[in-house]
Amino acid sequence: MPSLALLSSLLLATTASARPSRRATGEVQCPVVLNGFVPADATPTDFDSYATSPFNPDYIRGDEKFSTILQFPDAGSSRFDNDTTKAVEVTINDKSIFQTQNGFRRAGLQIQGDTNEDSPGTEGVKTLHFSIKQDPERTLNLTHEYLNVWHESADYSANQFNFETGTIIGKSGTDKNSYKVLNRQNTQIWSTPVDATAWQNFAITLDFNKNTLQVYYSKDDEPLKSVTSAVSNDNSGGGQYQIGILKKPTGTSDVVNSGYQETGIDEGQIYGGIFLEDSADGCVSL
């Protein structure tokens, strides 16, 4: 007859195996145009090859490959991740210099298929989804301005929108501890505090026919809700979606090429549930 201790251990093992993993319940309801979901079995070197990465393996980065830049923290699941996908962390350090942009510290993701000209992401009505979580071991220095997610025009002259945090250069009085959505004219249209522990889920709908922009938001596994109306915005100019970290310097008017960046940078931003969907007929996954 089994001992009481053995029966207890068997019961605990059975309960543990039956316990569901921490996975979110959000479901994609609309056709996916650009797929930035990270497969659960992805390895760092997968992101160095067009054949195995959901992102462009050559952009945006300095000399370090994405197998070095990207981390895969145990961060739980964002709203639209499930058993087949996982979070990815974009990190920057002192070497994170893209091309000759010596003022920035920068690394970012471009979803494969998102071309600079004639991209399927710049026609009709499209909604970009992404979720963000903080890494307590790689915190951002919010005395700087950070671009996290944005859409850059094909001629690199403007951004149709910016999703930012930190201290925005030239805009005194803004809360550095918040995420901010800015339109093409760099006017803030919405903000929310940075949460140190929760998943924060965002969706931005761009209507390229009507030239409008609309923001959706939720935390953890809560359904997204509209937090702005469809506001007027100039969405012309084509281009690509940028997702990651662009840390601007301080103390300069030429932020691309010069300015102050402290040494010993070790910062990161965790992303999950990255995808672009077709929002024709008002379809938005919530």
Q: What is the pLDDT of residues 181-228, one digit of tens each?
A: 999 999 999 999 999 999 999 999 999 999 999 999 999 999 999 999
The pLDDT assigned to 215 comes to: 98
User: How far is it, in rounded angstroms, from Cα 88 to Cα 280?
Assistant: 29
| Distance between start and end Cα atoms, the chain | 53
- Mean pLDDT over all residues of the chain? 92
User: How far is it, in rounded angstroms, from Cα 42 to Cα 142?
Assistant: 31
User: How far is it, in rounded angstroms, from Cα 150 to Cα 239?
Assistant: 10
pLDDT band at residue 6 using 50, 70 and 90 as cut-offs: very low
Distances (CA, A) of 108 to 23, 56, 59, 97, 280: 26, 10, 7, 11, 28
| Range with the poorest average pLDDT among 17-31, 126-140, 155-169 | 17-31
The pLDDT assigned to 23 comes to: 59
- For 90-124, what is each residue's pLDDT tens digit? 999 999 999 999 999 999 999 999 999 999 999 99
Parallel, antiparallel, or unpaired for β 145-152 and 159-166? antiparallel
Parallel, antiparallel, or unpaired for β 231-232 and 225-226? unpaired
Alpha helices in 205-258 (DSSP H): none
- Give yes or no for residue 15 having a pLDDT over 90: no
Upstream peptide bond of 92 is cis (omega within 30 degrees of 0):
no
User: How far is it, in rounded angstroms, from Cα 164 to Cα 87?
Assistant: 20
- For 129-155, what is each residue's pLDDT tens digit? 999 999 999 999 999 999 999 999 999
Chain mean position to CA 180: 13
How many CB atoms within 10 Å of residue 104? 24
The pLDDT assigned to 5 comes to: 39
- Give yes or no for residue 7 having a pLDDT over 50: no
User: How far is it, in rounded angstroms, from Cα 17 to Cα 11?
Assistant: 10
Q: Write phi, then psi, for 14 (nearest 5 degrees).
A: -65, -45
Q: Which residue matches tokens 């809560």?
A: 222
User: How far is it, in rounded angstroms, from Cα 66 to Cα 45?
Assistant: 8
- Reduce the DSSP state of residue 45 to 3 states and report it: helix
The pLDDT assigned to 25 comes to: 80
- For 229-273, what is each residue's pLDDT tens digit? 999 999 999 999 999 999 999 999 999 999 999 999 999 999 999
Q: Which residue matches tokens 């100019």?
A: 237
Kindly report the pTM of this predicted structure: 0.91
